[in-house]
Amino acid sequence: MLIRDVELDDLPAVQAIYAHWVTHGSGTFELEPPTVEEITRRQAEVTARGLPWLVAEDGGRIIGYAYGNWFRPRLAYRYTIEDSIYVHPDAQRGGVARLLLAELITRCETRGARQMLAVIGDSENHGSIALHRALGFRHMGTMVAAGWKFGRWLDVVLMQRPLGIGSDAPPAH
């Protein structure tokens, strides 16, 4: 398996993976899958900020992706990154998400980010919660009944991990 930067040709596969989880999962609160054009716009926004968007490739097939983006669009949040990770349903529980998240953490640290947040849809998303905990994230709180999807209320779990020296010093730039 290869973890690498996304290329434009990868975006249809990225969109297909995400579309599956939008329509079948509670980890994202989107209700309609975005188009390839919208995924392309999102990817361009992330990389224009100098942030990583990664894919996991296995045998020439994209089996997962991860990216970091500002937690919020206001400039003061530029050192706090929210991670997003999605894996093809056929590649679940094979260590893909762990490899993607570990590389994402490393790349965000080298770009000067100081905090990473996981905003995990559905408090029953035990796999994502365990993955983040295993890579040093701490539970910061739960927003109860924050979203409505599939005819039920869903919680949001917030987890956080310092990157590099975290908040021990001001940013270099």
User: Quick check: 56 pLDDT over 80?
Assistant: yes
Greater confidence (93 vs 47) lies with 47
State the Cα–Cα distance between residues 119 and 48, nearest whole angstrom: 22
Residue 9 neighbours by CB under 8 Å, 6+ apart: none
Given a contact cutoff of 8 angstroms between Cβ atoms, the answer to whether 127 and 118 are in contact is no
What pLDDT shows up at residue 93? 85
What pLDDT shows up at residue 96? 97
- The 10s digit of each residue's pLDDT in 2-23 is 999 999 999 999 999 999 999 9
Q: What is the mean pLDDT of residues 27-56?
A: 97
Q: What is the mean pLDDT of residues 61-71?
A: 97
Identify the structural domains of the chain with CATH numbers, from first to last: 2-162 (3.40.630.30)
User: Quick check: 173 pLDDT over 80?
Assistant: no
Closest CA to 101 of 138, 52, 164: 52
What pLDDT shows up at residue 172? 79
pTM: 0.95
State the Cα–Cα distance between residues 138 and 65, nearest whole angstrom: 23
- The 10s digit of each residue's pLDDT in 130-156 is 999 999 999 999 999 999 999 999 999
What pLDDT shows up at residue 94? 87
Residue 31 neighbours by CB under 8 Å, 6+ apart: 22, 149
Q: What is the 3-state secondary structure (H, E, C) of the chain?
A: CEEEECCHHHHHHHHHHHHHHHHHCCCCCCCCCCCHHHHHHHHHHHHHCCCCEEEEEECCEEEEEEEEEECCCCHHHCCEEEEEEEECHHHCCCCHHHHHHHHHHHHHHHCCCCEEEEEEECCCCHHHHHHHHHCCCEEEEEEEEEEEECCEEEEEEEEEEECCCCCCCCCCC
State the Cα–Cα distance between residues 57 and 32, nearest whole angstrom: 26
State the Cα–Cα distance between residues 122 and 19, nearest whole angstrom: 17
- The 10s digit of each residue's pLDDT in 78-126 is 999 999 999 999 998 889 999 999 999 999 999 999 999 999 999 999 9
